[in-house]
Amino acid sequence: MDFLDLMIIATLVVNITLGVRFGVMRRVVAFIGLFLGVGAATLVSANSSIHVASTFGLTSALWTHVVTYIGIVVGSVLLFEILGMVYSRFLESLVAAMFDAASGGVLGAVLGVVEVSLGLYIGIGLINTALPAGYAYPPSFVHAQELIVGSFFAPHFYGLFPLTKVIFAAVLPSSIGTYFTQLLQTN
């Protein structure tokens, strides 16, 4: 078991706990945030990463693009979690209390699996991408590859990606590799 396995378990535990604690409707709101976050990141992360690189002095265009993409998705999920908290009284009135905790835990598990599957799709897609001539992967990408190869849980969750891709087809880029390498200039 490596660090990636611990991250997978933590993602699942957090989502199941939030589902049991706050109910099914808050998990639905979080899923909407994830879906819209992936869509927003796909639309704006390429242009935004240029500004992020200049603001924070990041030199790797590929790394900056990935960080910007993930930041937009995480920000969207957090925003929708906060909206769910603000409107929790209204959301709780939509579902019976007994049904809410049990189904919230189940939906939390499903949301956790989807988040892990999307993360692995992006990670494996980046690792398998051929970079243009003259570019090398940042050292963190080599470490990520070692984590994915050594992970016990990653192959099981990545196997669920075809179902996740059907759900997110409208907002995911058609090719992760070419999407993230579009900012790399070929000389």
- The answer to the question of residue 186 being in a domain is no
Q: H-type helices in 57-96, by residue range? A: 61-86, 88-92
Which pLDDT band holds residue 43 (cuts at 50, 70, 90)?
A: very high
Total domain count, the chain: 1
What letter does residue 128 receive in the DSSP assignment?
Answer: T
In the chain, the N- to C-terminal Cα span, in Å, equals 41
Q: What residues make up the domain containing 96?
A: 3-181
What share of the chain in percent tops pLDDT 70?
97
Tokens of 18: 């939030």
> To the nearest whole number, what is the mean pLDDT of the chain?
88
What does the pLDDT average to over 22-48?
A: 92
pLDDT digit string, tens, across residues 103-137: 889 999 999 999 999 999 988 888 888 888 888 88
Distance CA 167, CA 137 (A): 30
pLDDT digit string, tens, across residues 77-112: 999 999 988 988 887 777 776 677 788 899 999 999
- Let me know the angle formed at the C-alpha of 106 by 77 and 69, rounded to the nearest 5 degrees: 20
- The answer to the question of residue 58 being in a domain is yes
Tokens of 158: 């990545």
What pLDDT does residue 187 have? 44
- The answer to the question of residue 158 being in a domain is yes
Which pLDDT band holds residue 9 (cuts at 50, 70, 90)?
A: very high
- The answer to the question of residue 113 being in a domain is yes
CA dist 48 → 43, 52, 66, 161 (Å): 10, 6, 11, 27
Burial class (CB in 10 A: 0-12, 13-18, 19+), 86: exposed
